[in-house]
């Protein structure tokens, strides 16, 4: 179950991360030129609305449709894949029928179109007569796209519209009765299982946009993007684990200023009791937003305090800041209580385990010339870990080693060693042998890289 949720969240995260800049663009245009913005301008504001309702759904549909390609890593890249094109045609029907549900529709129709092509249509036309491949493939794709567009217009759009209306009514009911803090019970655990982008951009954002059209702002933009709960848990770990304070300080900066929530997910996944702290922090923050009328005027992406303030009207800045810091404080206190209550002996035993060495893990003696740091999307902790490792190599005057960051589903075959956090090892494709994978507690802890450096130096001496 945990692995399936991880893969589901990873899929949509990898799709949406490519278009984060467009979400930020929509937010900036909305807060500056919207009806309640700093410099209202109807024409410029219309640009952001067109991008949100048409451009983003089309891009998500295309990317999700293409993402369903099998065997991406094993020489199958030349084969025509029309999943993205079919998804765009389906999205056209969806957008025309109900543009407000465009993003959610694209997140459903994109993968379905990709799977339709990959597993049904392409195998049927794979062995067409030589010279006719391109024509037949495109005719089949066009026919399939037409069917998908009609289904999207007459079936998917009405269903999603009704679903969105029910959700919006539920949200309004919770807001009116001051119960919106209950949503943290669902949102915070879902975030940790990498469903954060799916929840925010697929559900809360469309509902928030509908609410903002009537009120000029919405609290829904803050429910998932609030960095307070994650900041609080990292702060508690900073206080409780003195030996890793530098690492947690860096993680707190990335969470609060960078808005990359994925930075604290591995910590919570390794100690699921911390979910309670996240839920408490999220509930406290949401309740604070509610009673102090904290809200923002547009989409927040990524969940950075800077992004939040960028789309926050001047009259709401104090309310929003109060909600963020209250959620961080409550989350930190709850996490500290959990860490103290937990069995100290088991913690000591875990910390007392010997650190594995590369020599114990690997049997091959060739030089380690290409190392990959792997995480969920290849742009968060793995990118920072790779940068730290490259700096470590420079400090040790070691050259000739390529170090890059990769998402777990796009690891190139040429890698000689994979470095990932223990909680991510299950996400590494099964064809990678265990002796090629080196796990660490945190990709931001440079001391855990010493074993890799020592093995690189040892093999260099042996070769010399």
Catalytic residue set: 375
| Residue count (the chain) | 464
**φ, ψ for residue 251 (rounded to 5)?**
-65, -40
User: Which H or E element spans position 370?
Assistant: strand 370-375
Nearest alpha carbon to residue 331 among 231, 219, 454: 231
Beta bridge partners of 372: 404, 418
**φ, ψ for residue 78 (rounded to 5)?**
-80, -20
Q: Give the DSSP letter string of 43-101.
A: HHHHHHHHIIIIIHHHHHHHHHHHHT-S-TTTT-TTS---HHHHHHHHHHHHHHH-GGG
Question: How far is C-alpha 364 from the chain's CA centre?
Answer: 35
Asked whether 241 and 188 are in contact (CB, 8 A), the reply is no
Specify the 3-state DSSP secondary structure of 418: strand
Tell me how far CA of residue 337 lies from CA of 159, 185, 247, in angstroms.
45, 19, 21
Query: How many other C-beta atoms lie within 10 A of the C-beta of residue 359?
Result: 12
Q: What is the dihedral of CA 129, 130, 135, 139, to 10 degrees?
A: 30
| CA 113 – CA 203 distance, rounded (Å) | 21
Q: What is the DSSP pairing of strand 402-407 with strand 370-375? A: parallel
Tell me how far CA of residue 448 lies from CA of 367, 442, 445, in angstroms.
20, 8, 6
Torsion region of 71: left, alpha or beta (phi above 0 gives left; psi -120 to 50 gives alpha): left
126: Cβ contacts below 8 Å, ≥ 6 apart: none
| CA 438 – CA 457 distance, rounded (Å) | 17
Q: Give the DSSP letter string of 291-352.
A: HTT--BSS---S--HHHHHHTS-GGGHHHHHHHHHHHHHHHHHHHHHHHHHS-HHHHHHHHT
């Amino acid at each position: 179950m945990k692995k399936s949720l991880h893969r589901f969240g990873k899929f949509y995260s990898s799709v949406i991360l490519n278009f984060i800049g467009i979400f930020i663009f929509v937010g900036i245009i909305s807060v500056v030129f919207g009806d309640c913005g700093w410099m209202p301008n109807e024409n410029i504001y219309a640009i952001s609305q067109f991008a949100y309702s048409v451009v983003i759904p089309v891009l998500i549909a295309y990317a999700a449709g293409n993402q369903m390609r099998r065997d991406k890593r094993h020489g199958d890249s030349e084969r025509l894949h029309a999943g993205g094109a079919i998804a765009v045609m389906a999205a056209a029907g969806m957008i025309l029928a109900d543009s407000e549900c465009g993003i959610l529709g694209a997140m459903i129709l994109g993968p379905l179109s990709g799977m339709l092509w990959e597993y049904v249509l392409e195998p049927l036309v794979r062995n067409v007569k030589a010279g006719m491949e391109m024509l037949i493939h495109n005719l089949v794709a066009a026919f399939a796209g037409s069917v998908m567009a009609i289904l999207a217009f007459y079936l998917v759009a009405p269903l999603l519209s009704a679903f969105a209306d029910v959700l919006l009514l539920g949200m309004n009911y919770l807001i009116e009765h001051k119960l919106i803090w209950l949503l943290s019970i669902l949102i915070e655990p879902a975030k940790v299982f990498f469903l954060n982008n799916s929840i925010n951009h697929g559900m809360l954002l469309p509902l928030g946009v509908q609410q903002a059209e009537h009120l000029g702002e919405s609290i829904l933009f803050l429910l998932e993007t609030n960095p307070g709960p994650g900041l609080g848990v990292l702060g508690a770990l900073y206080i409780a684990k003195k030996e890793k304070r530098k690492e947690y300080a860096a993680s707190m900066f990335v969470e609060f200023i960078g808005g990359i929530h994925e930075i604290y997910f591995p910590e919570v996944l390794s100690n699921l009791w911390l979910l309670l702290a996240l839920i408490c922090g999220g509930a406290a923050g949401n309740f604070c937003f509610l009673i102090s009328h904290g809200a923002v005027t547009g989409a927040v992406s990524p969940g950075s305090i800077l992004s939040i303030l960028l789309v926050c009207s001047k009259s709401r800045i104090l309310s929003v800041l109060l909600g963020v810091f209250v959620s961080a404080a409550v989350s930190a206190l709850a996490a500290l209580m959990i860490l103290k209550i937990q069995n100290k002996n088991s913690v000591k035993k875990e910390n007392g385990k010997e650190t594995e060495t590369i020599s114990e893990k690997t049997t091959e003696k060739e030089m380690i010339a290409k190392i990959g740091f792997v995480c969920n999307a290849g742009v968060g902790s793995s990118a920072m870990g790779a940068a730290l490792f490259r700096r470590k190599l420079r400090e040790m005057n070691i050259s000739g080693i390529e170090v890059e960051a990769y998402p777990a589903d796009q690891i190139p075959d040429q890698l000689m060693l994979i470095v990932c956090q223990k909680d991510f090892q299950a996400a590494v494709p099964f064809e990678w042998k265990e002796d090629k994978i080196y796990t660490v507690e945190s990709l931001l802890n440079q001391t855990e890289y010493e074993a890799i450096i020592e093995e690189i130096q040892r093999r260099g001496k042996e070769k010399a």
